[in-house]
C-alpha cells in the first residue's frame, strides 16, 4: 500500500545525511518533521479503520457460527421427529452457514495481518518522529555553528597568507573532529539509556496487560 511505502521511506531517512545535503537545512528538517506528523495521523486513521473492519468481520463470523448451531439443533429435532426432509433442509443450511463462517475466518486472518503491519509502521514512525524532534534543535544549532565557523574561516583566509591559512584549516578540522567525536559518544550514551528505559517500560506494560487479560479470562471463565 502506498501509505506504508511512504512511511517506510521516512523511517529509513538518515537525518544527518539530509541535513548535510540540504541547501536550507533548517527548512528541510522542519519539513521532514511535518511530513512525519502528517503520515503519522494517516497511519493512525488507517489502523483505526482496519481494527473496526476486523471487528465487523469477527461479528459476521460469530453470527454465521450461531446460525450453524441453530440449524444443527433444528436438524436434530427433525431427526427426533422422524422428519427426514426437514432434517436434510436444516443440514443444508448448516453447511451453507459453516462455509460462510470459514470464509469470514480467512478474511479475519488476512485483516489481522494487515492490522499488525499498520501497527508496526505506526510504532516505527512514532519512534522516528521522536528522534527527529529530539535532534532537530541540535542539528540546526550544529549547522549554524558550522556556517559561522566557515564564515570566520573565510574572513581569516582573506587576510592571512597561505601557510597560516593552511595551519588554521588543520586546527579547525581537528577541533571539528574532536567535537563530532564527543557529540557522537554523548548521543550513543543517551540512545542506550533511552532504549533501556523504553524496554523497561514496555516490559511493565506487557506484564500489566497480561495480568489484566488473565484477570478478565478468570472472571469470565
Please determine, for residue 109, whether its predicted confidence score (pLDDT) is greater than 90: yes
Instruction: Supply the range of the domain harboring residue 210.
Output: 160-221
Burial of 89 (0-12, 13-18, 19+ CB in 10 A): middle
> What share of the chain has pLDDT > 90, as a percent?
29
Name residues whose C-beta falls within 8 Å of residue 147's C-beta, 6 or more positions apart in sequence. none
Please tell me the total count of domains within the chain: 2
The reply to whether the predicted model has a pTM over 0.75 is no
Q: For residues 119 and 204, state if they share a domain.
A: no
**At 18, is the pLDDT very low, low, confident or very high (cuts 50, 70, 90)?**
low
Q: For residues 114 and 191, state if they share a domain.
A: no
State the Cα–Cα distance between residues 133 and 27, nearest whole angstrom: 14
Residue 148: inside a domain:
no
Amino acid at each position: 500500500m502506498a501509505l506504508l511505502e511512504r512511511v517506510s521511506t521516512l523511517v529509513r531517512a538518515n537525518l544527518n545525511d539530509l541535513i548535510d545535503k540540504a541547501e536550507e537545512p533548517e527548512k528541510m528538517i522542519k519539513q521532514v518533521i511535518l511530513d512525519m506528523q502528517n503520515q503519522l495521523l494517516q497511519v493512525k486513521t488507517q489502523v483505526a479503520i482496519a481494527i473496526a473492519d476486523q471487528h465487523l468481520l469477527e461479528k459476521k463470523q460469530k453470527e454465521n457460527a450461531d446460525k450453524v448451531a441453530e440449524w444443527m439443533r433444528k436438524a436434530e429435532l427433525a431427526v427426533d421427529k422422524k422428519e427426514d426432509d426437514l432434517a436434510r433442509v436444516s443440514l443444508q443450511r448448516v453447511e451453507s452457514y459453516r462455509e460462510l463462517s470459514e470464509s469470514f475466518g480467512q478474511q479475519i486472518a488476512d485483516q489481522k495481518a494487515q492490522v499488525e503491519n499498520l501497527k508496526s509502521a505506526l510504532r516505527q514512525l512514532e519512534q522516528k518522529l521522536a528522534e527527529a524532534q529530539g535532534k532537530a534543535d541540535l542539528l540546526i544549532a550544529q549547522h549554524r555553528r558550522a556556517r559561522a565557523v566557515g564564515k570566520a574561516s573565510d574572513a581569516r583566509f582573506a587576510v592571512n597568507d597561505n601557510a597560516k591559512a593552511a595551519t588554521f584549516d588543520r586546527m579547525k578540522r581537528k577541533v571539528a573532529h574532536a567535537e563530532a567525536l564527543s557529540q557522537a559518544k554523548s548521543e550513543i550514551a543517551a540512545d542506550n539509556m533511552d532504549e533501556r528505559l523504553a524496554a523497561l517500560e514496555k516490559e511493565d506494560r506487557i506484564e500489566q496487560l497480561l495480568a489484566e487479560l488473565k484477570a478478565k479470562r478468570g472472571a469470565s471463565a
